[in-house]
A and B are shown apart, each in its own frame.
Chain A
Amino acid sequence: MVKTLFEKSQKGQKAYSLPKEDEAFTSFQPPQEYLRETPIPLPEVSEIDLTRHYSGLAQRNMGIDTHFYPLGSCTMKLNPRVNEWAAALPGFTRTHPLAPDEMVQGNLQLIDETLAFLCDLCGMEAGSLNQNAGAQGEFVGIRMIAAYHREKGESHRNELLIPDSAHGTNPATAVMAGFKTVSIPTDENGDIDLEKLKAACSENTAGLMLTNPNTVGLFSPVIMQIAQIVHEAGGLLYYDGANLNPMMGIVRPGDMGFDVMHINLHKTFSTPHGGGGPGSGPVLCKKRLEPYLPVPRVREEQDGYGIEWSNGTSIGEISSFHGNFAIYLRAYLYMKLHGVYGLRRIAEMAVLNANYLKARLGHLFTIPYSQPCMHEFVVQADNYLDKGVKALDIAKRLLDYGIHAPTIYFPLIVKECMLIEPTESESLATLDHFVEVMEKIVEEIHSDPELVKSAPHSMPATRLDEVKAAKEPILKASSEQCACC
């Protein structure tokens, strides 16, 4: 049975070392009455056992380095090791966020150049790297829109229009920022119905949150009209940059009519997913929203760069310091290595790889949208329901073949949905292998459906009892074996 590290405690064992005490220090003792009286139930483990335990856990995990991950909306591309090398340079790791400006000019230049590059790439005019994730990027963008309307004396604009196919963070963010959400139904192409959009616009409209291509991988051909409708109603457009990968160097959100946007660096710009984070969500905007950008901001001055810690119009802070610096540092190098030239190659190949897979999977699944997709596409796995096999089962069986499941059951508007995004990283051989594996699985659905329904079989775990986990939550390790000292 799997043991947690807390169950591997052996009395007296340890890994740490500390500088030797100096007599000069030991005479200082903290006041007795404030001292901790309860034990700290942490395990006592030596360095070799810590190393073995975590190395063992790594072997019970999948990653891009080891497996193909066709996860729609996640852009699981290669995480280049050169980025890791750069992030570990002591010249960066040893910089304190509150150091005097003149001592961190390299960092400030990095921030300035990153924003300049991204603004150019996206057709925007100013930005901030302080947001620690895409969701924070969304929150900041929406707060900026609120500030804009407030300045113009239009705080009554308290409604945000959101397509029903949107990612869950969109409505969650809207509510967190104090808005009401108005759901816009999407048509049979996953596109916004212009008539319904017009009908939903009113004097209370603050804006529209949209991603383009949309969450079924299609570029909205009427995006300019969408922008016009919302702008005419007095609202602003927010671009959810989760699907930016196929756009780079081909078209710019700013040119589509968007006023403010965020980017997910851990998607488009290859920063590592790390098992769920850290991410980074740069926000970019047009000039009219610039005054509201969060602080601190980096300003270019006569003799170098300076940090502006506060100003009269900013919406304020969004993180403890400057955001996830070591993450956008990785993205900065990625941008420099590629240039716009390389980023365009990425976009084109992301589109090509996705359309290729879509063409090759057509005989196995229902493809709800026949027009060319962008970087990802949906398939419906509902044609196997008569055998009792759902998208979930196919996803689990893929794991047995060494391929991570695609995104399933998102977006909510497609039945038994699988959202597939190969990214530009993958070679033709990998894509062909994926098709072969899918063909095998479909064969199994016909010859031995139970095998698929009870998959996976070759993972460190079979299907886990999520009901038990939610009903009787055990959320931490038992520390019975830990020394109480």
Chain B
Amino acid sequence: MDFVSNTGEQAKEMLQAIGVENINSLLTAIPEAIQLDPPVKDDGLSEYEGMRHMEALAAKNTFPSFDHYLGAGAYDHHTPAYLSAICQKSEFLTAYTPYQAEASQGMLQTIFEFQSAVCALTGMDVSNASVYDAANACAEAVLMAKRQQKKRRKVLIGASLHPHYRGVVDQYLESQDVDLVTVPFRSDGTLDIDFLEEAVDEDTVCVLLQYPNFFGVIDQMEEVSARVKKHEALFILCANPLVYGLYQSAGELGADIAVGDMQPFGLPLQFGGPYVGYIACRQGLVRQMPGRIVGETFDTEGRRGFVLTLQAREQHIRREKATSNICSNQALAALATLLGVLWYGPEGVKKLALTNYQRSAYLKEKLTAIPGISAYSNAPHLNEFVIRTEGPLDALIERCEKEKIVPGLPLERYFPNMKNHLLVCATEKKSKEQLDRLIEVAGRG
């Protein structure tokens, strides 16, 4: 099938108006040697067949039938039902980028409100309209810091930053005039603050750390912040935004740039994307911000309205000198996370964060009480933590999978010396029954 409206009837009329015999006369600029013959057989499907095909493909995924405890940047939270009702509205789903402001006041206002919500959560002054994901946000933030601190070269990055985020930062920074220095973590997953103290100096552009970090550990960020600021380096904090419902905000911690992913606020796992990267900063850095920003203004009748602003930074105007090559943002996905945040509201975000904390704390206590399983760290956490098995981790995983449980993410692939370490995440979706079941199965070893 296809969605082409015009058929032979209309085609005839149009060819006549153009003054040609057939469509091939319009394709003469294409060298004949590389022109393909039109396909003879229709290899498409009817809508019904297409739908059955997708159902069959989805059925090949057995993961949804497991009770899983995976996190690591992709979190399994409840998606409020009204999200899809709003996001599937024609005028949001099928709208173009709001360059023609008069025709896009709806979308522009949602972006403005998204920016406001990100500022509310992070405690920062300004946010943009979103970037692709957390990894991209980290990379863009470091580039931003470098633009602001042109003469400096040293970029400090925590070794406890999500390895995939670090991979993307490396990708974007490779051709820049910077020196990437990794700040190690201690044996309990907390940041080596002494190393940081030594390393931060007059040549430091910025320090990028994750909160909670990849191991779910909450570092002593006030200590970190003080050391970073001593030499006027920029403090970039990468955080699961849910952390701000419980723990100190980026603003309170003196961060200069706050980045992360809004996915926890209502986007399903959907195999890793689309998610929603956020970047927020303090007022003084706004002109270095990449991507779209929406601002408030008035129209000729004096009515309040919204427009894309500070566009001179962007690729379509600045070209080579743009702050970034970013063109599209995550618009519709950002709208979904905005709706998620607002559904919870100030009270709900706090309760959501607390219940995530409590359920995972319960699980952590009970799991580490099992002989042969210990806690990797006693530092505070949000909803993720790492456990260690004395015996081979595989045995635990196998036992769990037989009971249709995926108990967590083995860390060996990321840190080869963490052979029997498992990153476990428990959100508000886990009932006591589910948690107790995992504890029971884990205890059978």
Query: Is A277 a contact of B330 with CB atoms below 8 Å?
Result: yes
A interface footprint on B392-430 (CB within 8 Å = 1, 0 otherwise): 000000000000001001000100000000000000100
Contact-residue bracket for chain A: 35 or more
Known pairs A96-B271, A470-B309; A36 contacts B246 (CB<8 A)? yes
Q: Roughly how many angstroms separate A353 CA and B6 CA in the complex, as a whole number?
A: 9
Query: Is A42 a contact of B6 with CB atoms below 8 Å?
Result: no
B94 at the interface (CB under 8 A from A): yes
Q: Roughly how many angstroms separate A249 CA and B23 CA in the complex, as a whole number?
A: 14
A325 at the interface (CB under 8 A from B): yes
Which of A170-178, A229-237, A382-390, A439-447 lies at the interface? A170-178
In the complex, which residues of chain A have a beta carbon less than 8 angstroms from the beta carbon of B187? Answer: none
**Of the residues A35, A90, A430, A469, contact of B247 by C-beta under 8 Å:** A35
Q: Roughly how many angstroms separate A395 CA and B101 CA in the complex, as a whole number?
A: 12
In the complex, which residues of chain A have a beta carbon less than 8 angstroms from the beta carbon of B110? Answer: 54, 57, 275
B273 at the interface (CB under 8 A from A): yes
CB distance from A175 to the nearest CB of B (A): 5
Query: Is A86 a contact of B104 with CB atoms below 8 Å?
Result: no
CB distance from B328 to the nearest CB of A (A): 4
Query: Is A456 a contact of B63 with CB atoms below 8 Å?
Result: no
In the complex, which residues of chain B have a beta carbon less than 8 angstroms from the beta carbon of A58? Answer: 86, 89-92, 106
Chain B residue at smallest Cβ distance from A131: B132
Chain B residue at smallest Cβ distance from A13: B345
Known pairs A77-B3, A103-B61; A255 contacts B91 (CB<8 A)? no
Query: Is B54 a contact of A86 with CB atoms below 8 Å?
Result: yes
Q: Which of B119, B312, B317 has the most CB of A within 10 A?
A: B119
Give the 9 A-B CB pairs with smallest separation, nearest first.
A178-B175, A91-B58, A321-B272, A274-B332, A97-B272, A61-B106, A339-B43, A317-B167, A65-B90
Chain B residue at smallest Cβ distance from A309: B413
Query: Is B358 a contact of A28 with CB atoms below 8 Å?
Result: yes
Chain B residue at smallest Cβ distance from A81: B88
Within 8 A of A (CB), among B44-64: 44-47, 50-51, 53-55, 57-64
Which of B228-236, B290-298, B369-377 lies at the interface? B290-298
In the complex, which residues of chain A have a beta carbon less than 8 angstroms from the beta carbon of B351? Answer: 16, 18
Query: Is B4 a contact of A89 with CB atoms below 8 Å?
Result: no
Sample (6) of A-B pairs whose CB atoms are under 8 Å apart: A82-B50, A89-B58, A176-B324, A372-B25, A428-B5, A479-B120
Which of B31-39, B188-196, B199-207 lies at the interface? B31-39
**Of the residues A24, A57, A86, A278, contact of B328 by C-beta under 8 Å:** A278
In the complex, which residues of chain B have a beta carbon less than 8 angstroms from the beta carbon of A475? Answer: 112, 115, 126-127, 286, 293-296, 309
Q: Which of B17, B296, B349 has the most CB of A within 10 A?
A: B296
Query: Is A473 a contact of B295 with CB atoms below 8 Å?
Result: yes
Q: Roughly how many angstroms separate A345 CA and B3 CA in the complex, as a whole number?
A: 10
A434 at the interface (CB under 8 A from B): no
Query: Is A360 a contact of B91 with CB atoms below 8 Å?
Result: no
Q: Roughly how many angstroms separate A427 CA and B244 CA in the complex, as a whole number?
A: 51
Q: Which of A93, A109, A251, A473 has the most CB of B within 10 A?
A: A473
In the complex, which residues of chain B have a beta carbon less than 8 angstroms from the beta carbon of A43? Answer: 342, 345-346
A199 at the interface (CB under 8 A from B): no
In the complex, which residues of chain A have a beta carbon less than 8 angstroms from the beta carbon of B44? Answer: 336-339, 341-342
**Of the residues A36, A39, A274, A342, contact of B92 by C-beta under 8 Å:** A274
CB distance from A147 to the nearest CB of B (A): 10
Q: Roughly how many angstroms separate A169 CA and B319 CA in the complex, as a whole number?
A: 7
In the complex, which residues of chain B have a beta carbon less than 8 angstroms from the beta carbon of A428? Answer: 5-6, 10, 13-14
B interface footprint on A1-15 (CB within 8 Å = 1, 0 otherwise): 110111000000011
Q: Roughly how many angstroms separate A473 CA and B281 CA in the complex, as a whole number?
A: 14
Query: Is A174 a contact of B246 with CB atoms below 8 Å?
Result: no
Query: Is A485 a contact of B346 with CB atoms below 8 Å?
Result: yes
Query: Is B31 a contact of A223 with CB atoms below 8 Å?
Result: yes
B interface footprint on A115-136 (CB within 8 Å = 1, 0 otherwise): 0000000000000000011111
Query: Is A219 a contact of B4 with CB atoms below 8 Å?
Result: no
Known pairs A2-B303, A320-B261; A55 contacts B89 (CB<8 A)? yes
Interface residue total, chain B, C-beta cutoff 8 A: 200
CB distance from B167 to the nearest CB of A (A): 3
A284 at the interface (CB under 8 A from B): no
**Of the residues A22, A99, A255, A279, contact of B406 by C-beta under 8 Å:** A99
Q: Roughly how many angstroms separate A322 CA and B164 CA in the complex, as a whole number?
A: 11
CB distance from A362 to the nearest CB of B (A): 11
Query: Is A340 a contact of B43 with CB atoms below 8 Å?
Result: yes
Query: Is B127 a contact of A98 with CB atoms below 8 Å?
Result: no
- A18-B352, A51-B85, A94-B268 provided; 9 other pairs, C-beta below 8 A? A97-B271, A106-B57, A134-B328, A274-B333, A276-B328, A277-B334, A318-B168, A320-B162, A360-B17
A interface footprint on B83-115 (CB within 8 Å = 1, 0 otherwise): 011101111111111101111111101111101
Query: Is A426 a contact of B5 with CB atoms below 8 Å?
Result: yes
Q: Which of B18, B47, B252, B346 has the most CB of A within 10 A?
A: B346
A282 at the interface (CB under 8 A from B): no
Q: Roughly how many angstroms separate A93 CA and B273 CA in the complex, as a whole number?
A: 10
Chain B residue at smallest Cβ distance from A454: B300
Query: Is A427 a contact of B296 with CB atoms below 8 Å?
Result: no
Query: Is B61 a contact of A221 with CB atoms below 8 Å?
Result: no
Q: Roughly how many angstroms separate A71 CA and B409 CA in the complex, as a whole number?
A: 45
Query: Is B295 a contact of A474 with CB atoms below 8 Å?
Result: yes
A interface footprint on B162-183 (CB within 8 Å = 1, 0 otherwise): 1011011011101110000000
**Of the residues A22, A55, A172, contact of B325 by C-beta under 8 Å:** A172
**Of the residues B35, B47, B167, B319, contact of A172 by C-beta under 8 Å:** B319
**Of the residues B103, B135, B315, contact of A459 by C-beta under 8 Å:** B103
Query: Is B17 a contact of A359 with CB atoms below 8 Å?
Result: yes
Query: Is A57 a contact of B106 with CB atoms below 8 Å?
Result: yes
Q: Roughly how many angstroms separate A325 CA and B272 CA in the complex, as a whole number?
A: 7
Chain B residue at smallest Cβ distance from A409: B316
A62 at the interface (CB under 8 A from B): yes
Chain A residue at smallest Cβ distance from B162: A320
A60 at the interface (CB under 8 A from B): yes
CB distance from B445 to the nearest CB of A (A): 20
A451 at the interface (CB under 8 A from B): no
Q: Roughly how many angstroms separate A430 CA and B23 CA in the complex, as a whole number?
A: 20
Known pairs A40-B349, A181-B320; A320 contacts B294 (CB<8 A)? no
**Of the residues A133, A355, A460, contact of B326 by C-beta under 8 Å:** A133
A365 at the interface (CB under 8 A from B): no
Query: Is A273 a contact of B95 with CB atoms below 8 Å?
Result: yes
Query: Is A479 a contact of B43 with CB atoms below 8 Å?
Result: no
Query: Is A352 a contact of B6 with CB atoms below 8 Å?
Result: yes
Q: Roughly how many angstroms separate A8 CA and B359 CA in the complex, as a whole number?
A: 33
Query: Is A61 a contact of B107 with CB atoms below 8 Å?
Result: yes
In the complex, which residues of chain B have a beta carbon less than 8 angstroms from the beta carbon of A167? Answer: 316
In the complex, which residues of chain B have a beta carbon less than 8 angstroms from the beta carbon of A326? Answer: 270-271, 273-274
Known pairs A173-B325, A372-B25; A320 contacts B272 (CB<8 A)? yes
Q: Which of A89, A143, A316, A337 has the most CB of B within 10 A?
A: A337
Q: Roughly how many angstroms separate A279 CA and B329 CA in the complex, as a whole number?
A: 8
